[in-house]
């Protein structure tokens, strides 16, 4: 299971991901968050429930700050907008991203545009 969350402004996000195994199985939970502002918050809570001795379940969690990454890319020649777009696209991209319908991809682009403007305003 792969989950992604982006929190901007004063958003508070709680990601709960549960994987259960009642038979021999393998499972993995990945919870990733991207903080777009200093006032946003993300709680990532992966849960594993093994009900069989031959179940192998794993998890990982990461939450990063966009501002630090943008500051890294700008001296390398990226504009502010390019850096934010690159980082957001890279963050939401998973192996399944290329298989998403065009409508969903356009939705991600709308989210990128909505994120860039408030961050640019706060950075000034």
The answer to whether 37 touches 122, Cβ cutoff 8 Å, is: yes
Residue holding tokens 């504009």? 79
Over its length of 124 residues, how does the chain's per-residue pLDDT go in tens digits?
A: 888 898 988 999 999 999 999 999 999 998 999 988 889 999 999 999 999 999 999 999 999 888 778 888 999 999 888 888 888 888 877 665 566 778 877 887 787 777 666 655 555 5
Query: pTM of this prediction?
Result: 0.68
Query: Considering only CA atoms, which of 13, 61, 60 is closest in space to residue 36?
Result: 13
Token pair, residue 38, equals: 């200093």
Query: Considering only CA atoms, which of 2, 29, 19, 33 is closest in space to residue 97?
Result: 2
Per-domain boundaries in the chain: 2-123
Sheet holding 55-65, edge to edge: 2-7, 25-35, 55-65
């Amino acid at each position: 299971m792969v989950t992604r969350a982006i929190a901007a402004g004063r958003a508070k996000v709680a990601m709960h991901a549960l994987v259960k195994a009642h038979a021999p199985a393998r499972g993995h939970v990945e919870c990733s968050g991207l903080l777009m502002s200093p006032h946003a918050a993300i709680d990532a809570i992966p849960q594993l429930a093994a009900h069989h001795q031959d179940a192998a379940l794993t998890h990982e969690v990461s939450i990063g700050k966009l501002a630090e990454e943008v500051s890294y890319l700008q001296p390398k020649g990226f504009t502010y907008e390019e850096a934010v777009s690159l980082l957001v696209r890279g963050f939401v991209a998973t192996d399944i991203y290329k298989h998403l319908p065009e409508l969903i991809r356009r939705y991600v682009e709308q989210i990128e545009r909505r994120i860039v403007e408030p961050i640019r305003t706060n950075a000034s």
